[in-house]
Amino acid sequence: MEHIRMPKVENVRLLDRVSSRKAALGTLYLTATHVIFVENASETRKETWVLHSQISSIEKQATTATGCPLLIRCKNFQVIQLIIPQERDCHDVYISLIRLARPVKYEELYCFSFNPKLDKEEREQGWKFVDLNEEYNRMGIPNDYWQISDVNRDYGVCDSYPTEVYVPKSATAHIIVGSSKFRSRRRFPALSYYCKDNNASICRSSQPLSGFSARCLEDEQMLQAIRKANPGSDFLYVVDTRPKLNAMANRAAGKGYENEDNYSNIKFQFIGIENIHVMRNSLQKMLEVCELKSPSMSDFLWGLENSGWLKHIKAIMDAGIFIAKAVAEEGVSVLVHCSDGWDRTAQVCSVASLLLDPYYRTMKGFMVLIEKDWISFGHKFNHRYGNLDGDPKEISPVIDQFIECVWQLMEQFPCAFEFNERFLIHIQHHIYSCQFGNFLCNSQKERRELKIQERTYSLWAHLWKNRADYLNPLYRSNHSQTQRTLYPQMTPCNFLYKFWSGMYNRFEKGLHPRQSVTDYLMAVKEETQQLEEELEVLGERLANLQKMQLNGNKIQSKQQDRGKQLGLSASTNSLANTPQEYGSDLKSFPSRSPSQGDEDSALILTQDNLKSSDPDLSANSDQESGVEDLSCRSPSGGGCLPSEDSGKDSDEAVCLAV
Q: Whole-angstrom Cα distance, residue 362 to residue 482?
A: 9
Beta carbons within 8 Å of 527's beta carbon, 6+ residues apart: 566, 568, 636
Alpha helices in 101-196 (DSSP H): 120-128, 132-139, 173-181
The annotation status of 13 as a binding-site residue, yes or no, is no
Q: Which is nearer to another protein, 257 or 419 (CB)?
A: 419
Q: Which amino acid is at 219?
A: D
Q: Shortest distance, CB of residue 463 to another protein, whole angstroms?
A: 24
Q: What is the DSSP letter of 439?
A: G
Q: Shortest distance, CB of residue 236 to another protein, whole angstroms?
A: 30
Distance of CA 117 to the CA centre of its chain: 25
Q: Shortest distance, CB of residue 618 to another protein, whole angstroms?
A: 13
Question: Strands 34-39 and 201-205, how do they pair?
Answer: unpaired
The annotation status of 343 as a binding-site residue, yes or no, is yes
Q: Which is nearer to another protein, 83 or 317 (CB)?
A: 317
> Cβ–Cβ contacts within 10 Å for residue 25, how many?
13
Q: Which is nearer to another protein, 104 or 517 (CB)?
A: 517
Question: Strands 236-240 and 266-270, how do they pair?
Answer: parallel
- Write out 347-396 in H/E/C secondary structure: HHHHHHHHHHCHHHHCHHHHHHHHHHHHHHCCCCHHHHHCCCCCCHHHCC
Q: Which is nearer to another protein, 331 or 502 (CB)?
A: 502
The annotation status of 614 as a binding-site residue, yes or no, is no
Q: Whole-angstrom Cα distance, residue 84 to residue 88?
A: 9
Distance of CA 182 to the CA centre of its chain: 34
Q: Which is nearer to another protein, 305 or 454 (CB)?
A: 305
User: Which residues share a beta bridge with 555?
Assistant: none
Q: Which amino acid is at 356?
A: L
Q: Shortest distance, CB of residue 342 to another protein, whole angstroms?
A: 25
The annotation status of 276 as a binding-site residue, yes or no, is yes
User: Which residues share a beta bridge with 83?
Assistant: 13, 69
158 catalytic residue (yes or no)? no
Q: Which is nearer to another protein, 264 or 546 (CB)?
A: 546
Q: Whole-angstrom Cα distance, residue 151 to residue 158?
A: 9
What value, to the nearest 5°, has the Cα angle with vertex 276 and ends 497 and 453?
A: 100
Q: Shortest distance, CB of residue 480 to another protein, whole angstroms?
A: 7
Closest to 261 (Cα-Cα) out of 283, 238, 240: 238
Q: Which is nearer to another protein, 211 or 414 (CB)?
A: 414
The annotation status of 344 as a binding-site residue, yes or no, is yes
Closest to 446 (Cα-Cα) out of 150, 157, 160, 144: 160
Q: Which is nearer to another protein, 230 or 347 (CB)?
A: 347
Q: Which is nearer to another protein, 253 or 537 (CB)?
A: 537
**DSSP string of 221-266?**
HHHHHHHHTSTT-S-EEEEE-S-HHHHHHHHTTT-----TTTSTTE
What does each C-alpha distance from 560 to 526, 553, 563 come to in angstroms?
17, 11, 5
Q: Which is nearer to another protein, 122 or 598 (CB)?
A: 598
Q: Shortest distance, CB of residue 508 to another protein, whole angstroms?
A: 8
The annotation status of 342 as a binding-site residue, yes or no, is yes
Give the chain's end-to-end CA distance (angstroms, integer): 15
Q: Shortest distance, CB of residue 365 to another protein, whole angstroms?
A: 20
Question: Is residue 349 within 8 Å of 417, Cβ to Cβ?
Answer: no
User: Which residues share a beta bridge with 335?
Assistant: 203, 238
Closest to 440 (Cα-Cα) out of 381, 374, 399, 378: 381
What value, to the nearest 5°, has the Cα angle with vertex 384 and ends 383 and 387?
A: 60
Q: Which is nearer to another protein, 231 or 552 (CB)?
A: 552
Q: Shortest distance, CB of residue 351 to another protein, whole angstroms?
A: 16
**DSSP string of 292-339?**
-SS--HHHHHHHHHHHTHHHHHHHHHHHHHHHHHIIIII--EEEEE-S
Beta carbons within 8 Å of 227's beta carbon, 6+ residues apart: 233, 234, 235, 236, 265, 266, 333
Q: Shortest distance, CB of residue 560 to another protein, whole angstroms?
A: 7
Q: Whole-angstrom Cα distance, residue 421 to residue 485?
A: 21
Q: Whole-angstrom Cα distance, residue 362 to residue 132?
A: 16
Residues 338, 349, 405, 441: which is the catalytic one? 338
Q: Whole-angstrom Cα distance, residue 556 to residue 563?
A: 11
Q: Shortest distance, CB of residue 411 to another protein, whole angstroms?
A: 9
The annotation status of 339 as a binding-site residue, yes or no, is yes
Q: Whole-angstrom Cα distance, residue 370 to residue 360?
A: 9
Q: Shortest distance, CB of residue 1 to another protein, whole angstroms?
A: 38
Q: Which residues are catalytic?
A: 338
Binding-site residue numbers for substrate are 275-276, 338-344
Binding-site residue numbers are 275-276, 338-344
